[in-house]
Amino acid sequence: MADDAGDMSSKDQGKKEKFGSETSVDEVMDKLSSSPDGLTASEAQERIQKYGYNEIVEKKVSPLRRFLGYFWGPIPWMIEIAIILSAIIQSWDDLIIIFVLLLINAVVGFWQENKADNAIELLKKRMALNARVKRDDKWTESPARELVPGDIVRLRLGDIVPADVKLIKGDYLQIDESALTGESLPVEKHVSDVAYSGSIIQKGEMNALVVSTGMDTYFGKTTRLVAEAKTVSHFQKAVMKIGDYLIVLAVFAIVLIFMVALYRQESMLTTLQFALVLTVAAIPAALPAVLSVSMAVGATDLSKKEAIVSKPVAIEEMAGMDVLCSDKTGTITQNKLTLADVVSFGDFSDTDVYLGGLLASRKEDHDPIDTAIISGVKGMEDVGGRSSKYKVLEFKPFDPVIKRAQVTVEDSNGKHFQFAKGAPQVILEMSSNKDAISDELNTVVEKFASEGHRALGVAGTDENGTWRMLGILALYDPPYDDSAETIKKAQSLGVKIKMVTGDHIAIAKEIAGQVNLGKHIIAASKILHMSDNKAMSIVENADGFAQVFPEHKYHIVELLQNNDHIVGMTGDGVNDAPALKKANAGIAVAGATDAAKSAADIVFTKPGLSVIVDAVRESRIIFQRMKSYSVYRVSETVNIVFFIALSIVVFNLYPITAFMIVLLALLNDGPIMAIAYDNVKPSPFPDKWNMRSIITMATFLGFISVFFSFLILYLGETVLSLSQGEIQSFIFLKLAVAGHLTIFLARTRGPFWSIKPGGLLLWSAVATKLFATLIVVYGLYITPIGWELAIFVWVYSLVAFVITDFLKVRFYKVLDHKGLIFHR
């Protein structure tokens, strides 16, 4: 049976499929030893042992190969060349410490990458697809990875097909196979056709027989590997620009040093080794690890807020988001529909309307509207008694395109009838009595809408098959208790909430008023045929949009983006996927379809708007940490590169050795990693990268550090009369202590004490500073200077730190006043 289940040998490829449409359903059932009732739980477990789990096996790189990869690349090459040059000139101390730097960078990078991979794997498990499967003759929810050939599954609107399946029961499915075939148009499939794993159900509902799973599926055989294209985020681009800036500075300094060395006829080999080490210190070697740690920590923190990040770039986009187009149902309101009222038309009774609505609903689909109707009429004996006399022959679930659900039934006398429920205007148009009830219907719909109720039309056929509208059911979905407060919080963060709903405009206005969102709600169709400039103006000023179709959502997002907004969009249905992909931050809300989840950047597992606001705040915290890293890294490089270069050129003095430069880089990497765990006050405004702000402030801090470095060099030479070895140790300690203190300058716009640093950041900085102090006091591989000089350096560095912090605050104010730094 294993060979029969989805095995496509090379001789079969290009010919007919083993379980293709030309093979009957009964034949396939027989081959897979299955039936329309599905498998038992014990049979499913046996088949898992035989076929394996329904998953694509990813090709894993061995841990050893991944670790060795950290010794390959431009930055490792430069460090390795420095090691070789150290060996050539027999500078063994330099060789050892440079090798230790290379090794530690590799170990830290490998550990952090492994940690990030583990965090992503945990998130993937939370994102895992579920499937509706028939086991032991009962429909249950099961993880899709546990499906086996022979299982019976139900596929419906919004589902991602969980395995290769043969359709066995139902009317039809409209399936998007573009991810597999590249064909943009959806494909219609019927009984006996095959649907492939990974395709998306756009319309219809059918039962299907699983024929192939995992690597035996069409998708598994075609790809053999799940590979996601990596997107370079704005942050990564920004840091690359920073890296380019630092390299330019380093190259400038090195060229200057070489020119002076040539003029002074110094050893080119020694100069080359020193220049290489200086370049190593200038290049942000810790960058990959800092990125990995920050994103892993950020994704983990967001998961605690019930937000699962499927694309890391979304963290940055959420931080900069200034407009959120929010669904009403399930986000602002509770998505707990209740049957509130009923109105019948003509000779029909309220019971007739309830009966039609009940028959056109199906419990097992867990549709919120169906559930509300079924729950609402459960206690009505007259309705329940009448409904039991009908046998369902065919059920067509709600189709968002035609906006109705429909059922065909047979009564006890063998007569066939149809019932439908859906948008009142749609139901009215198909009814023969529309002229007689049109005015009454509009009045009732307006009345219900003004009360915040959704109107649902119900129609049925007579014995001749003529459709007649029976009446209207009113459904109510109350807002969350905290929706109004949450919207207020979002607005205080600079995020404009715009409601987007398919409901009637009067309902949208009523709900918007209840949550203090503003009642300037417009019909989405109003902007569809306008010029972009006019439509942009209307969209910009609107509080929300009603009677929205999928194409409206996409257009709304596009117009806002064209007006320089970073847009978030929430959605839950298959038709929301285009808008979710188009938005800067696509957000699949709780209860979203698999198709919406796959299109979204972030998936929320907790209902409501508050979780989105929490995610915005958390994203801005992560973004602030990234900016802290950027300012710190640029300022430190400016300090070290310019101080050393000018010392060599102007004073003919190497203020520190190559060994000390590498040791500085080594000591700095510990605290800089801890920035990912720092306490941060999120920005009150949307965060965007402003490279001019970062470069300007970092360069300012760097040159202040250069000034204080030269001042202490002057004191060491003229006032304290230190030997060259002592001066180098003296300067090394100053650079180590002051460099770590720069972290605490870079992390705040206000005074350094305005935000308490994270414990890990504080104590890692303290520990590395104490380690550097012990090295210079006792002379480990360098000239010792004793405790008195070490304490002098500490006091000097702390005084310089306080003065620099004061100047930093003043400089920020000047830049703000001049308009050179932007918050938004």
Catalytic residue numbers? 327
Rounded to whole angstroms, the Cα distance separating 457 from 444 reads 11
Burial class (CB in 10 A: 0-12, 13-18, 19+), 492: exposed
| Cβ 147 vs Cβ 213: under 8 Å | yes
Rounded to whole angstroms, the Cα distance separating 356 from 354 reads 6
- Across 714-728, b (16+ Cβ under 10 Å) vs e yields eebbeeeebeeebbb
* Tokens encoding 706: 């250069």
* Helix (H) or strand (E) run with residue 699 in it: helix 691-714
* Helix (H) or strand (E) run with residue 447 in it: helix 434-450
With CA atoms as reference, report the closest residue to 79 among 287, 291, 252, 278: 278
Crossing angle of helices 234-264 and 268-282, in 10° steps, is 160
Residue 160, strand partner residues: 200
Q: What residues contact residue 748 under an 8 Å CB cut-off, 6+ apart? A: 754, 755
Name the residue with tokens 């205007």: 425
* CA dist list (Å): 42 to 2, 111, 115, 142, 214: 17, 41, 37, 14, 20
Give φ, ψ of 362 to 5 degrees.
-135, 125
With CA atoms as reference, report the closest residue to 148 among 11, 248, 34: 34
Name the residue with tokens 């050539």: 88
Give φ, ψ of 396 to 5 degrees.
-110, 110
* Tokens encoding 13: 């490829």
Q: Is 658 helix (H, G, I), strand (E, B) or coil?
A: helix
Position 137: which residue type? D
- The strand ranges marked E within 599-641 are 602-604
Helices of type H across 39-161 = 41-51, 63-68, 74-88, 92-126
Distance of CA 674 to the CA centre of its chain: 23
Long-range contacts of 253-259, Cβ-Cβ distance < 8 Å, separation of 24 or more: 253/278, 253/282, 253/641, 253/642, 253/644, 253/645, 254/278, 254/279, 256/645, 256/649, 257/645, 257/648, 257/649
| Cβ 180 vs Cβ 187: under 8 Å | no
The DSSP 8-state label assigned to residue 332 in this structure reads I
